[in-house]
Structure 1
């Protein structure tokens, strides 16, 4: 077992909680209704241990059994709701995401770094026949996305090292897989103030991101825009979309400073929109 940080020693580590979360995370798109044996295989835990954990989660209302298979209940969504409730910047950013999506006719997102992955923490998605299918809570590799480029570009060197150590696996035909090239790309992002990535996570996927800073000027999240190469070119995104994104990021940061100073935010009228 690895040593823990200064916040706690190994004696403070509660392994049963780790195992409980491992069981919850075993439910995914590929295994929405796993059997006990499938959960044991996914987690590496013994079947008796998995059985006890599932029965505990069932008593708490987070899973339900249907014959030999198990499913998550809507109660698990409250965990994400608690995140939004305790991180006011998500609520602050939401109306700005809506305006950006209306202006660009493309989805707008807010994401944060979690280890070597990027997690969507807010999103406004447009209605399209063909669109990028991601939701709040979705995770993507940091190294192959514009959001990850922005977040790692302003991160500490140890974070960049950890992302590279996790492996720069080729995901699409333009994925950067060389560590030196990746570091050079981060340098360019810091210099120009934004990131545009095309066909690195998925062929034909084009995205742009800019940093959102908190009231202290630190990068808090990445504001992201995504489309396909068939609808826009990278040059068009830089010329037409990135300026709007920089304005939106500044507006979010300005509101966060107001919140930090305990000043009331301007009221935003409700909209029906097109989402």
Structure 2
């Protein structure tokens, strides 16, 4: 097996792995993904020897990784020719990633128009390794929320964006971050299962989340979900600004935000 940091051949080009002094990964996982990338880089099925050559592995090493990828559905082997190609799970991952890219592009365009119209700050967040992560941040007129930026992780319980993810993602996705927040002893954070369930139910019923002064002092935050064609949450669009509720409780900016989220969902054939 090639030593860490040595270039490997992928698709005829040497690629040097990126080193990190702060983070440690699992080399076997990285090598398995290198084998998968070799299949991605070719336009058709590959022989075992081609996979080994493109990854810098021996034939026996490449075979073991391919066997695992086949078992997991990310690769497939033709029983007649013995050649390897991408499996059905790879297609599913690719389609899911494509849907997210499309959702981000569509939501960014719509959010830019909204921010210009209502003169509030806007964010677009997706679910990342650490939780709700900002991938687009637009500074609007009026209140400037300077504590936010690309890569900011929203809390689940004390931000409107986080509450939308909490309400619409499977519990297994949010369990780790929820546990961390419940251990912080923040007085703004609900600590009982009943209160957390009430938050989820409220967001689902209203179609959005609305908070004031929780994540940023004296600022109203509102967030709405964007769904894909499978009915899964792919992104959350949000605004931050002054409380614009009229005596009847209507907030025109929040209504406009909901319209944006619903429009993008329809563009994605979402439900």
Asked if Structure 1 and Structure 2 have the same fold, meaning a TM-score greater than 0.5 normalized by the shorter chain, the answer is: yes
1:157/1:139 CA distance change after superposition, 3 Å: closer
User: Is 1:232 matched up with 2:243?
Assistant: yes
1:206/1:177 CA distance change after superposition, 3 Å: farther
Q: Is the 8 Å Cα contact of residues 113 and 142 (structure 1) preserved in structure 2? A: no
CA deviation after TM superposition for structure 1 residue 257, in Å: 3.3
SS at match of 1:143: coil
1:162/1:187 CA distance change after superposition, 3 Å: farther
CA distance in 1, matches of 2:18, 2:191: 32
Alignment of 1:1-275 (within 5 A): 20=20, 22=22, 87-115=101-129, 117-128=131-142, 130-168=144-182, 169-171=184-186, 174-227=188-241, 231-232=242-243, 238-257=250-269
1:196/1:238 CA distance change after superposition, 3 Å: farther
Report the TM-score, using the length of structure 2 for normalisation. Answer: 0.57
1:205/1:160 CA distance change after superposition, 3 Å: same
CA distance in 2, matches of 1:113, 1:257: 20
Structure 1, gaps ≥5 residues long: 1-13, 25-82, 259-275
CA deviation after TM superposition for structure 1 residue 150, in Å: 0.5
SS at match of 2:124: strand
Report the TM-score, using the length of structure 1 for normalisation. Answer: 0.56
CA deviation after TM superposition for structure 1 residue 18, in Å: 10
C-alpha RMSD of the superposition: 3.5
Deviation string 1:155-185 (CA, Å, 9 cap, x unpaired) is 11223433332232355x6343444312221
SS at match of 1:196: strand
Tell me how many residue pairs correspond in the alignment.
183
Q: Is the 8 Å Cα contact of residues 223 and 239 (structure 2) preserved in structure 1? A: yes
SS at match of 1:186: helix
CA distance in 2, matches of 1:161, 1:235: 37
CA distance in 2, matches of 1:183, 1:246: 22
Q: Is the 8 Å Cα contact of residues 164 and 225 (structure 2) preserved in structure 1? A: yes
SS at match of 2:268: helix
Structure 2, gaps ≥5 residues long: 5-16, 25-96
SS at match of 2:216: coil
Q: Is the 8 Å Cα contact of residues 121 and 136 (structure 1) preserved in structure 2? A: yes
Q: Is the 8 Å Cα contact of residues 175 and 201 (structure 1) preserved in structure 2? A: no
1:212/1:129 CA distance change after superposition, 3 Å: closer
CA distance in 1, matches of 2:263, 2:138: 17
Larger Rg: 2
Deviation string 1:63-82 (CA, Å, 9 cap, x unpaired) is xxxxxxxxxxxxxxxxxxxx
